[in-house]
């Protein structure tokens, strides 16, 4: 079992109104030193695969086909062994 983390971010050329709103709110709270905020998404997948390579392939395909918008977003995939919860 593997854990895939897919980090999705807006491409640098895409305006980020949510990031701008967060930056404004942080300034209102006294964090004037925050100069820029970009928002994104973090998606974790538990994948039952025979190898790390297969799990990464599955996660990349999922990101390309569904999780990320290829016109506006970039993504990065990290795969690790999933921690097994003990009973």
Which pLDDT tens digit goes with each residue over 21-68? Answer: 999 999 999 999 999 999 999 999 999 999 999 999 999 999 999 999
What pLDDT does 83 receive?
82
The predicted model scores a pTM of 0.85
Q: At residue 29, what are phi and psi to the nearest 5 degrees?
A: -90, 5
87 has pLDDT over 80: no
* Domain of 6, in residue numbers: 2-81
pLDDT band at 18 (very low <50, low <70, confident <90, very high): very high
How would you class 84 by CB atoms within 10 Å of its CB: exposed for 0-12, middle for 13-18, buried for 19 or more? Answer: exposed
Mean pLDDT for 2-28 is 97
Domain membership flag for residue 86: no
Q: At residue 26, what are phi and psi to the nearest 5 degrees?
A: -65, -40
For the sheet with 40-47, list strands across it.
40-47, 2-10, 73-81
Domain membership flag for residue 87: no
Domain membership flag for residue 34: yes
CATH of the domain at 69: 3.30.1280.10
């Amino acid at each position: 079992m593997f854990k895939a983390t897919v980090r999705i971010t807006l491409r640098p050329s895409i305006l980020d109104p949510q990031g701008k709103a967060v930056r404004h709110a942080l300034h209102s709270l006294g964090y004037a030193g925050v100069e820029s905020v970009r928002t994104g998404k973090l998606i974790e997948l538990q994948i039952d695969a025979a190898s790390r390579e297969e799990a990464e392939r599955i996660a990349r395909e999922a990101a390309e086909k569904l999780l990320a918008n290829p016109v506006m977003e970039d993504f990065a995939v990290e795969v690790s062994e999933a921690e097994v919860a003990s009973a």
